[in-house]
Structure 1
């Protein structure tokens, strides 16, 4: 089990670092499909893995002086994501308390992920014909960031392709620039989500060794993903993102079926 978890987290984190999707949108449904742990434990561990990967990637890029983060819009988005991360965690814990049958929460998360992924795939396939904007209004940035943070925290995915759609559409960012800004936003939302969980005392049960392993996979995946991202162009990143979304649609459909039955 440990080897399988490491491979899933490593591959997901590498893809997340390349595409700017965080990796949680792969880790969460993949581990849900395995049925190895509770929904709450998977959400928590997925979030910690994504946090480790984004922390390494964002800090390393900053130290190298190669950051493409637009601080004027990226910081308000990240601050909004931080507050949204808290709201998403509160919503998730509220549903945990409301539903004795935890599989219902799994269904809700999987349906939300399926809808988001299908919508994002549709945008990606028609992106060239969609008009984009150059948003700089701070209140709007805060609102958009809050929405992204809420989805990220509630679903335990760390971010996902929806971040990229927002950055493409509202801020006219290129693929690689959007990927880096997305990781910056994810970092803030995951920090506040983790702090919220720790402060509320609602940390689910899991094997400590598994957490260490997944964090190691997140960081090593981030290292690998950064190296690959430097060597490929925007077009290849776009193709990889589309492929991953198609795979995720299939996984989420399976998870919905599994949780219902």
Structure 2
């Protein structure tokens, strides 16, 4: 079983680092579909894996100097995502306690992921026909960051496809530039989410073997993804991203059905 978890975390982090979606948007629904552990445990492991991947990806980008992290702009988004990450974790715990049934929590997460992924898929197909903006207002960046952080933390996916859409539409970034800036934002939101879980003592029971295995997969996947991202064109990144979104949509539809009928 640890081998399966490693493969899932490595492949998800590899693709996540290439496309800038964090990997959690793959890990979360795949492990939910496998059904070997609770929704809370999956969300926690997914978040830890995404955090490890984002640390490696951002470090390599800053050290290498080849990737364009717009720190003057994206740092405000990242700071907003810290507050959003805290709020998203609170929302997660509130819904978990309100329903006292993790199947309901899992169903809500799956539905939100389906809607978010479909919206992202449509936007990516039509983005050449959509005029983008180039906002630089710091307060707006902070608000957008909060929204991204809430989605990231509540869903346990890191940042997911919504980060790319926001960065491309509101700030006129190219796909590859948006990818690394998305991971930069994810880094902050996941740190906030993890710290809150530790402080509030809401970390679910998970096997240390699974945690170490997935974090290792996240680190190696992030390293490999950064190398691949430098070598492929934006067109290929877009095609990979679209294919990935299509798979994720169907997995989340399946998960919604499973949680609803459990």
Q: Sort the TM-score into its range (normalised by shorter chain).
A: over 0.9
Q: How does 1:184-203 map to 2 (within 5 A)?
A: 184-203=184-203
- Paired with 1:232 and 1:66, the residues of 2 have a C-alpha distance of 14
Matched, 1:60 2:60: yes
- Paired with 2:11 and 2:178, the residues of 1 have a C-alpha distance of 20
Q: Deviations for 1:231-257, whole angstroms, at most 9, x for unmatched residues?
A: 100000000000000000000010011
| 1:36 to partner: Cα distance | 0.5
| 1:66 to partner: Cα distance | 2.4
| 1:67 to partner: Cα distance | 3.5
- Paired with 1:229 and 1:50, the residues of 2 have a C-alpha distance of 17
Stretches of structure 2 lacking an aligned partner (at least 5 in a row): none
| 1:96 to partner: Cα distance | 1.2
Name the TM-score, length of structure 2 as normaliser.
Answer: 0.99
- Paired with 1:5 and 1:61, the residues of 2 have a C-alpha distance of 26
Which contiguous aligned blocks of 4+ residues in structure 1 show a shift greater than 4 angstroms?
none
Check whether the contact 2:60–2:226 (CA below 8 A) recurs between aligned residues: no
What's the secondary structure of 2:113's corresponding residue?
Answer: helix
Structure 2 counterpart of 1:183: 183
Name the TM-score, length of structure 1 as normaliser.
Answer: 0.99
- Paired with 1:10 and 1:154, the residues of 2 have a C-alpha distance of 22
Check whether the contact 2:110–2:252 (CA below 8 A) recurs between aligned residues: yes
| 1:71 to partner: Cα distance | 1.4
What's the secondary structure of 2:210's corresponding residue?
Answer: helix
Count of residues in Structure 1 that have an aligned counterpart in Structure 2: 261
- Paired with 2:220 and 2:99, the residues of 1 have a C-alpha distance of 36
What's the secondary structure of 1:126's corresponding residue?
Answer: helix
- Paired with 2:248 and 2:209, the residues of 1 have a C-alpha distance of 27
- Paired with 2:64 and 2:101, the residues of 1 have a C-alpha distance of 48
Structure 2 counterpart of 1:211: 211
Check whether the contact 2:74–2:185 (CA below 8 A) recurs between aligned residues: yes
Stretches of structure 1 lacking an aligned partner (at least 5 in a row): none
Q: Deviations for 1:128-153, whole angstroms, at most 9, x for unmatched residues?
A: 00010001000000000100000000
Structure 1 counterpart of 2:171: 171
Structure 2 counterpart of 1:160: 160
| 1:219 to partner: Cα distance | 0.4
What's the secondary structure of 2:140's corresponding residue?
Answer: helix
Matched, 1:259 2:256: no
Check whether the contact 1:12–1:221 (CA below 8 A) recurs between aligned residues: yes
- Paired with 2:95 and 2:88, the residues of 1 have a C-alpha distance of 11
